[in-house]
Amino acid sequence: MSGKSFFVDLTKCTACRGCQIACKQWNKLPAEQTRNHGSHQNPMDVSAITYKTVHMKEVADDKGFMAAWLFFPEQCRHCTEPPCKMTADTYDDQAILQDEVTGAITFTEKTKDLPDFEEIRESCPYNIPRQNAETKVMTKCTMCLDRVQNGLVPACVQSCPTGTMNFGDRDEMLALAEKRLAEVQKKYPEAVLGDADMTRVIYLFQTPPQQYHDFAVASVTMPGPMDRKAMFAKLFGSTSRSKA
């Protein structure tokens, strides 16, 4: 499998939110109207005008003391077999596109004409798609396709000061991910790569993914990998997941 991929090394993330701000700036997205939720995390989730946000999770030990403060910069995973596109294609195969060179999944203006936004959102095992309430256009991370097509890395990667965010040819990112996993497991035996075989955003978790975020990996909310068979079974033969 060719194309591009991200490798996100969560062991290096300090939650500086440089990636979150860079995404806003490059995509010319307005600020969210927010309030204090008792956490440094802000905003609390992705939205139609926030394609990337850094989730922050305090994890306690068995005595109730904080054992870890985990940071998870969330974005669209750019699935290799995207269920959102498979769903949209039943109505209009130009509403959601998959770039042949990079593998990036992009939502077009035609998403506003799809009959059921919730159907698209619920097809995503990561709960990513959002819809502009006024225009009805669906939105999410674009992989900064305009930058990548001009030889640049995505804005979030360009802004990262710690080496958390990496981007390049898929084979190189997978090799880097496997190398770092072997190193990290010496200190954190539970470390894993999240859905590396089915997405183009490969996260390295130092602890079980569910400790970071409810939708960190597909297996947290769905049984097993999300292949075509599983996707169609979910769409037509099972109940919907609860949404964030």
pLDDT, one tens digit per residue, over 138-189 is 999 999 999 999 999 999 999 999 999 999 999 999 999 999 999 999 999 9
* pTM score of the predicted model: 0.88
Residue 132 lies in a domain: yes
Give the span between the Cα atoms of 136 and 130, in whole angstroms: 9
Residue 59 lies in a domain: no
Asked if residue 14 lies in contact with residue 162, where contact means CB atoms within 8 angstroms, the answer is yes
Q: Which domain does 139 fall in, by range?
A: 84-143+229-237
**Average pLDDT over all residues of the chain:** 90
Residue 106 lies in a domain: yes
Taking only the tens place, the pLDDT of each residue in 79-136 is 999 999 999 999 999 999 999 999 999 999 999 999 999 999 999 999 999 999 999 9
Residue 125 lies in a domain: yes
Residue 136 lies in a domain: yes
Q: What is the CATH number of the domain that holds 119?
A: 3.30.70.20
For the chain, the three-class secondary structure string (H helix, E strand, C coil) is CCCEEEEEEHHHCCCCCHHHHHHHHHHCCCCCCCCCCCCCCCCCCCECCECCEEEEEEEECCCCCEEEEEEEEECCCCCCCCHHHHHHHCCCCCCEEECCCCCCEEECHHHHHCCCHHHHHHHCCCCCCEECCCCCCEECCCCCHHHHCCCCCCHHHHHCCCCCEEEEEHHHHHHHHHHHHHHHCCCCCCCEEECCCCCCEEEEECCCHHHCCCCCCHHHHCCCCCCHHHHHHHHHHCCCCCCC
Residue 30 lies in a domain: no
Residue 108 lies in a domain: yes
Residue 9 lies in a domain: no
Q: Work out how many domains the chain is built from and give that number.
A: 1
Give the span between the Cα atoms of 196 and 7, in whole angstroms: 9
